[in-house]
A and B are shown apart, each in its own frame.
Chain A
């Protein structure tokens, strides 16, 4: 069943602030095997012009995807999450995420398409810091596959 087009443009309330922890950044960088000192060493980050350690470029997805849960789990939208795969992901950064940031995410349904029985949902997450300044925008494309085909992909 195709998703209701009237949800296009709908925005959800901003999430409660997520406080970015220095150790969480370090844990993430270690998990992807990335030894760039800007992720773990405050002085190295400062030498690059940052006020504190910064997070790897894809770190913020954990925050924006959790926020997108508001959309994914909206009973009115009726997305079958068991059939969902991640199609595309894009980020546009005003500045890197850094330790100490308190980030809120506002999720908006940017597009809904139906192709060959698949529902394709584009969610935009606007991430702002405590001062209200824009940090990064994340675009997440989710594909809910037609019921008769098994899930595969990322």
Chain B
């Protein structure tokens, strides 16, 4: 376990580099295959609309996987993530065009804990909607 960020170099409010992640229908099909979640609301527009959704939506777990990359890219070692939890507040709606949607993720250190650990709070938005709530990770720093 080798984090590239030192515990002594961060304080409450330290911002992690924000990132924007693209998501298209092709992304969702690829994620469905890799994760084994073939729920048609994530790739079948007709089905999604029939169950009352505005369009195909991204897997919540896909959004969760993208958001933590802001933390794992910052800390270097993905094994440094000790805890990670989110609430799925709004869906990421993915239109069938060449652009799809984007997930914008920002994060900052919200608490300094014992044992060289910090709590990072994440904010994930798509368009002007907050798509993850209570999104938090505990990270083991060097």
Q: Which residues of A contact B (CB under 8 A)?
A: 24, 27-28, 30-34, 36, 38-39, 47-50, 54, 56-58, 61-62, 65-66, 85-93, 95-96, 139, 150-154
Contacts and interface: CB of A to CB of B under 8 A. Distances in A.
A38 B77 CA distance: 7
Interface string B24-41: 000100110111110001
A74 B86 CA distance: 26
B75 to A, nearest CB: 10
Interface residues of B, number: 44
B31 A31 contact: yes
Contact of A89 (B33, B64, B82): B64
A24 B79 CA distance: 18
A31 B33 contact: yes
A32 B66 contact: yes
B122 interface: no
Interface of B: 1-2, 21, 27, 30-31, 33-37, 41, 51-53, 57-66, 68-69, 72-73, 76-79, 81-88, 90-91, 134
Overall SS of chain B's interface: mixed
A48 B1 CA distance: 5
A34 B19 CA distance: 12
Nearest to B71: A57
A31 B72 contact: no
A39 B72 CA distance: 12
